[in-house]
Amino acid sequence: MADWQKITGGVTAPRGYQAAGITAGLKPSGLPDLALIFSEVEAIAAGVFTTSQVKAACVEYCRQRLQAKPSARAILCNAGQANAATGNQGYLDTLESSLAIAHALNISSESVLLASTGVIGQRIKMDALRSGIPKVVAALSATGSDAAAGAIITTDLVTKSIALETIVGDRPVRIGGIAKGSGMIHPNMATMLAFVTCDAVVSPALWQQMLARAADRSFNSITVDGDTSTNDSLIALANGQSRTPAIIEWGAEAEKLEAMLTAVCQHLAKAIARDGEGATCLIEVEVTGAHDELSARQIAKTIAGSSLVKSAIFGRDPNWGRIAAAAGRAGVPFEQENLQIKLGNFLMLENGQPLQFDRAAASAYLKKASVGAYLQQDTVLISVNVGNGYGVGKAWGCDLSYDYVKINAEYTT
């Protein structure tokens, strides 16, 4: 059993946070498009960002801010324009955004972090942003997480939110998160934004290490289409308002906090993968028997990212050969005669040898997932064993449907 419980509240569930989401006129659709998360006190800040060589101005800005000072009080996110590949003017827009929100909140601009999402090559609509900043500040609320979650999405069909609570010492500690993403999703990272809040007291170095490991086991283990983005950002704040003893070195309390942080990130990551553009189900791949966790995750990510595997799942075709082929090209050595593959409860390959199985029943299992309850009965489980090692890793993806092409063929038109 997990050493925590699910609670309501998203990023405002931890003590000392407010959030807001408004319509500022950034999106042509007229839907909410400006979000703000605010800590009542200075919070330890950590971040993990896209590895793309083409980075949005907000990514460069946040990296520089966190290198200079690993703390923050505010995260401002605009949706509609990515402000990526917009040259020097795009970076100047980012600086102006940070100064404007800092002035409105009466804090230092050094305590502001930024994120953007939308169409690459488009600058932020600064007139709309300028007029929207006073409104989003005025809308800040201790119950504003849902509004913020709704204001950061683009092609998402649903918002993504989670909050968990555990006990550290004799006091509750909470972690909440919101995220967006449904396309351009692939490890390292993808068109995804995730914001996490925590009320524990934790050292900056430890918080950054925890977040990096949690990212590897969550957002860097999902894939929708093999494309990564220019704007990927995972930002986490820890403001210490739980008044629990400071966690400054690795130990039982740090391990518990990281486990809960990872659980929050994994929930958000799975929600992103399930919401993949045109998807009808979530795919979870678990690999066991590898030399180490990294090797297991590499195999799992290759299988989850295979277009042929994803297409077979959409077609409700229990074609285990595509799973075997993907595992074999993952770049991780293993003995073919040790390979085992299961689809749900259907054992299809054992010791490298094909087995007889009920194909109609296996196909029905895939069909059932496509109509299952969201993040409950809508998951296709693929289990792969490659040997006798201790390495275990998971990855998540979704099926590849006709609608994915439709959505992305018309993205800017």
Residue of 303, 323, 341 whose CA lies nearest to 221:
303
Place of tokens 């955004």: 97
Residue of 33, 31, 40, 32 whose CA lies nearest to 12:
40
Four-residue CA torsion sign, 271, 276, 278, 282: negative
- Which residues are CB-neighbours of 45 under 8 A, at least 6 positions away? 66, 70, 71, 72, 113, 204, 207, 235, 236, 237, 238
Give, in order, the Cα–Cα distances in Å from 400 to each of 93, 224, 233, 294. Answer: 37, 8, 25, 26
By DSSP bridging, strand 233-238 and strand 193-198 are parallel
3-state secondary structure of 15: coil
Identified catalytic residue from 191, 197, 230, 244: 191
Task: Specify the DSSP element, H or E, that contains 92.
Answer: helix 87-105
Residue 125 class from Cβ within 10 Å (0-12 exposed, 13-18 middle, 19+ buried)? buried
Residue of 15, 176, 152, 186 whose CA lies nearest to 77:
152
Give, in order, the Cα–Cα distances in Å from 239 to each of 1, 42, 345. Answer: 27, 6, 44
Place of tokens 């004799």: 170
By DSSP bridging, strand 391-398 and strand 346-350 are unpaired
Helix, strand, coil percentages in the chain from 3-state DSSP, rounded to 5:
35, 30, 35
Residue of 304, 380, 291 whose CA lies nearest to 338:
291
Q: Confirm whether 191 is a catalytic residue.
A: yes
Measured N-to-C along each axis, helices 87-105 and 57-68 cross at an angle, to the nearest 10 degrees, of 60
Q: Which residues are catalytic?
A: 191
